[in-house]
């Protein structure tokens, strides 16, 4: 799980180390919004598709992607909690394999 976040933040550190993407490599402004990027990124992670993970991690800034992934996680936990008639806390802990606390 943490390796996926390293991929997310890895693109930021690559840019900071002096490697800049050329204009051809950069997506067009407004080509992807952060929620579209988050959905594509999370689905690629779930399918263990490293090529798509790497691609979608470049669609928006790392901060925006992090926000989108967080928002997606919150919405998913709420939806599952409603479906299971459980609290979001219980669902989140169950998904992470934690004891009910």
pLDDT at 91: 96
pLDDT at 1: 46
| SS3 track for the chain | CHHHHHHHHHHHHHHHCCCCCCCCCCCCCCCCCHHHHHHHHHHHHHCCCHHHHHHHCCCCCHHHHHHHHHHHHHHHHHHHHHHHCCCHHHHHHHHCCCCCC
pLDDT (tens digit, 9 = 90+) per residue, 71-91? Answer: 999 999 999 999 999 999 999
pLDDT (tens digit, 9 = 90+) per residue, 2-39? Answer: 455 455 555 444 444 444 444 445 555 557 899 999 99
């Amino acid at each position: 799980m943490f390796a996926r976040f390293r991929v997310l933040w890895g693109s930021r550190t690559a840019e900071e180390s002096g490697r800049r993407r050329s204009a051809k490599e950069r997506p067009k402004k407004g080509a992807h919004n952060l929620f579209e990027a988050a959905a594509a990124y999370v689905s690629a992670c779930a399918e263990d598709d490293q090529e798509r993970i790497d691609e979608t991690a470049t669609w928006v800034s790392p901060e925006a992607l992090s926000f989108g992934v967080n928002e997606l996680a919150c919405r998913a936990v709420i939806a599952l909690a409603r479906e299971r008639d459980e609290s979001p806390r219980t669902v989140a802990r169950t998904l992470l394999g934690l004891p009910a606390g």
